[in-house]
Amino acid sequence: MGVTTVTDVRQTESVVAKLFRSEQGGHEQVVLCQDRASGLKAVIALHSTALGPALGGTRFHAYGSDDEAVEDALNLARGMSYKNALAGLDHGGGKAVIIGDPDALKSEELLLAYGRFVASLGGRYVTACDVGTYVADMDVVARENRWTTGRSPENGGAGDSSVLTAFGVFQGMRAAARTQWGEPTLRGRRVGIAGVGKVGHHLVEHLVEDGAEVVITDVRADAVDRIIARHPGVVTAVSDAEVLVRTPLDVYAPCALGGALDDATVAALTATVVCGAANNQLAHPGVEKDLADRGILYAPDYVVNAGGVIQVADELHGFDFDRAKSKATKIYDTTLAIFDRAATDGVPPAVAADRLAEQRISDRTPAAEWLRPQDPAAS
């Protein structure tokens, strides 16, 4: 096993350009990890530790290229810095991606190797679940380090973080409903959810309980079938996300992978609110303005989907579900504050959210105060 920082890697000019010279830059550290025995290839990106140890999940995905994996890690880590800041957590932002098809590549040996790389960072990075990784995986990763969250209750963890992720998205949706229609409820509204996997199926439960009409789609037929079996006659399904965005909706909730809001999608949207669990929903800069120009209220993804990171952060202090849920409830107030700031500044909500997050991060400069050795004489 070896740890290689990006600045030591030869023939990776495109990676270095992303790290140092692009809008994706500003990251403190990026680590490329490889364990040939297990087949592990991973990227760990630390965007900021100004507020505390970088906290963010581990994504296991079959990327089209290694460069695409690095780009995803950079984007996700930056998003985690902003998410953790607005969630009020004393954590910076980090993210890891494991490259490959989890169904074909995932093994105990690989997860243990990955856990050793997390350990090598000495607490600068705290990991958790993300797309393609689960509670059982984190139990294995945790065997090699003490900076792993999202573990099972049997192993001292909080369990499935998608529970509070969905709860937080629902709170953000309530705030959007109040801003757009005057009442913090989705009762009588038609909500389209693209992706009803780990988070999406919990979101369906909240919406049905609140009296919303729900329309769903997912690339996995079994995920759709599970929802339909539980809510026959209440939830309807469409063939794919492209059909869903053209379906008459009040709210569109992207809950799968990032980049869901591109030019074509925004132009086709019938919904007047977008609020979902997926990370990095805006496909490129300028989409937030296009949404605003069309009169579509966008609830910034990293604000409303922070319930999961609130849950796993609480695990570091001895998990208490009620305490974590109470913190996640505040996503409603934070989302309202962002909409108010956007209206006051005359900017899209995504810009207002970034400004608020950047303010909290800059207030804690210089970075990594938490890492500085303590003077024994002062204690």
Q: Which residues of 260-298 are buried (b: 16+ CB within 10 A; e: fewer)?
A: bbeeebbeebebbbbbbbbbbbbbeeebbebbbeeebbb
Residue 87: what are its φ and ψ, rounded to 5°? -80, -5
Considering just the CA atoms, what is the radius of gyration of the chain in Å?
20
Q: At 207, which helix (H) or strand (E)?
A: helix 200-210
Q: How far apart are CA 110 and CA 102, in angstroms?
A: 11
Distance, in Å, from the CA atom of 143 to the CA atom of 149, rounded to the nearest integer, reads 12
- SS3 category, 111: helix
Strand pairing partners for 237?
216
Choosing from 18, 41, 83, 95, which is the catalytic residue?
95
Residue showing tokens 């087949």: 39
In terms of Cα–Cα distance, which of 233, 262, 225, 257 is closest to 245? 262
> At 355, which amino acid appears?
R
Residues ≥6 apart with Cβ < 8 Å to 289: 348
The sign of the dihedral angle between the CA atoms of 318, 323, 328, 334 is negative
Active site residue 289: no
What is the C-alpha to C-alpha distance for residues 300 and 297, in angstroms, rounded to an integer?
10
φ and ψ at 236, to 5 degrees? Answer: -110, 160
1, amino acid identity: M
In the DSSP assignment, the letter for residue 34 is: E
Which residues carry out catalysis?
Answer: 95
